[in-house]
Chain A
């Protein structure tokens, strides 16, 4: 257990370093250079960002990747440690591990996003959320961080699919939340007529908005699948696929909230600002579903 805690700690610091670098990138970017149109792949970063910013951006990406690799290693090590003491080895078996896994998924999602769209400005916001997730995990009391054996109800292969898929959907919603925050920042800057180099580094509002929407369209089916897998597991373990316990109900509530979001996007006036606020609100609901239910509400499902 010592080894995995060591690696998780390293992950925390690396994500912090990456976040700092991405923020520095935003400050270093030259405003005079024409912003690359959304989706327009460019190889000449020097021309787009300026020498300092390019280098900062590249180091930031490198450190993010390092952090993700260490995060992967930490999860693997924890899985190995669990295997030695109990029947299952899913490295997302308690609150701490679940948070670390969500961070891992957020960062993975970000790296893929950056590889595809090459917009490093997003790093500050999405890696930011990933870092906050990892930070919250390390603030958990010791007893949530250990690799204690699982109670019989959790001792099943279902933990591999139900929990991981649901947590991945949380990561997608977290990314959308981060993008929503980014949208509001940029929107406010535009309204004030800001010409600071900081905001010039952001992509245009339409792009931020659509990327946030994309993240939610990834999270939504994953959450649906996760809830259904949970129902199947409940059917095998507790003799009923739906018992309206707080965790089940709240995950359904979150799903309904994002379902409303997806339908709203088809209505005029719900893109842009409203969508960004909604994405942040949805993410807060996810946080409550993830943390709040375990610690504030009691019930059959309170596994922290």
Chain B
């Protein structure tokens, strides 16, 4: 009888883990982007699903991350140029409670106007299989991931924007993609 009860518990545990097992699968292009609910800088709650119908540029960053800092101005350019075409630049900060206070001055100091969400509890860590910052997920209007970019990118370069422009159905003009710092990059 003991063995039966034991086997039953084993089966229940297996069932519980099985039902959640989708969470272990690696997140790849073509999979739906996991939904989340976070607050923005004005303490207003936002969900990823609120932006269904738009192309979402989901970027994970942190105030202590240097490449993120270098990448952000080009993200601001994207935001300014393509917001009218249906692009939402959503920057999710993964700063823990000790550094969340640095977020508003950071945003102000760089004159960034796109929405910023705060994930200080790491709720997006496991669903997005985050390995580091910055990481960018380009999500289409139906909430499906179309591109995953690990690491920073110059989002003003035309070759970075291929997937984005296809989704938004626009042709980027050379004037949109402005080089920001004037220097050549190390090859």
B187 adjacent to chain A (CB < 8 Å): no
Contact A63 B6 (CB under 8 A): yes
Shortest CB-to-CB span from B15 to chain A, Å, is 10
Q: Quick check: is B10 within 8 A (CB to CB) of the other chain?
A: yes
One digit per residue, 1 when the CB lies within 8 angstroms of any chain B CB and 0 when it does not, for chain A 125-150 equals: 00000000000000001110010000
User: How many angstroms between the C-alpha atoms of A141 and B129 in the bound complex?
Assistant: 9
Q: Does A181 contact B (CB under 8 A)?
A: no
Are B130 and A2 interface neighbours, CB within 8 A?
Answer: no
Instruction: Name, among A5, A9, A17, A55, the residue most crowded by chain B CB atoms within 10 Å (CB to CB).
Output: A9
- For A1, the chain B residues whose CB sits under 8 A away are 24
Residue B175 at the A interface, CB < 8 A?
Answer: no
Query: How distant is B88 from chain A, measured CB to nearest CB, in Å?
Result: 25
Q: How far is the CA of A66 from the CA of B10 in the complex (A)?
A: 8
For B130, the closest partner residue in chain A by CB is A142
Task: Say yes or no: B20 contacts A58, CB within 8 Å.
Answer: no
Contact B6–A13 (Cβ < 8 Å): no
Instruction: Determine whether A154 belongs to the interface, using a CB cutoff of 8 Å to chain B.
Output: no
Whose C-beta in chain B lies nearest to the C-beta of A20?
Answer: B9
B9 x A5 contact (CB < 8 A) = no
Alpha-carbon distance between A143 and B130 when the two chains are bound, in angstroms: 7
A62 in contact with B24 given A14-B13, A142-B129 (CB within 8 Å): no
Chain A residues contacting B25 (CB-CB under 8 Å) are 2
B174 CB–A CB distance under 8 Å: no
B131 at the interface (CB under 8 A from A): yes
Contact with A along B118-142 (1 / 0, CB 8 A): 0000100110011110000000000
Chain B, Cβ-Cβ closest to A146: B131
Q: How many residues of A contact B (CB 8 A)?
A: 19
Residues of B within 8 A of A10 (CB): 13-14, 17
Inter-chain contacts of B170 with A (CB < 8 A): none
Residue in A closest to B16 when the chains form the complex, CB atoms: A13
**Are B21 and A6 neighbours in the complex by a CB distance under 8 Å?**
yes
Q: Of residues 54 to 107 in B, which have CB atoms within 8 Å of A's CB atoms?
A: none
Q: A6-B24, A143-B131 are in contact. Are A66 and B122 (CB under 8 A)?
A: no
Please state if B13 and A143 are interface contacts (CB–CB under 8 Å).
no
Q: Are A6 and B6 in contact (CB under 8 A)?
A: no
A141 to B122, CA, bound (A): 8
Question: In the bound complex, do residue B3 and residue A62 qualify as a contact, i.e. CB atoms below 8 Å apart?
Answer: yes
| Least distance between B13 CB and chain A CB atoms (Å) | 4
> Does B2 count as interface, using CB distance less than 8 angstroms?
yes
- Is B5 close to A, CB under 8 A? yes
Q: Of A2, A66, A143, which one neighbours B24 at CB under 8 angstroms?
A: A2
Question: What 0/1 readout, one digit per residue, does chain A (160-188) give for beta carbons within 8 Å of chain B?
Answer: 00000000000000000000000000000
Q: Is A59 an interface residue (CB 8 A)?
A: yes
B150 CB to closest chain A CB (Å) equals 12
Q: Is the CB of B17 within 8 A of A13?
A: yes
Q: What CA separation (Å) do A55 and B24 show in the bound complex?
A: 36
Cα distance, A63 to B8, chains bound together (Å) = 10
Q: Which residue of A lies closest to B132 (CB)?
A: A143
- B1-53 residues at the A interface, CB under 8 angstroms: 1-3, 5-6, 9-10, 13-14, 16-17, 20-21, 24-26
A17 to B15 Cα, complex, angstroms? 14
Q: Which residues of B contact A (CB under 8 A)?
A: 1-3, 5-6, 9-10, 13-14, 16-17, 20-21, 24-26, 122, 125-126, 129-132
The 6 listed contacts between A and B (C-beta, < 8 Å) are: A9-B17, A10-B14, A14-B9, A66-B10, A143-B131, A143-B132
Q: Which 6 A-B pairs have the closest CB atoms?
A: A62-B6, A2-B24, A13-B13, A5-B24, A143-B131, A9-B17
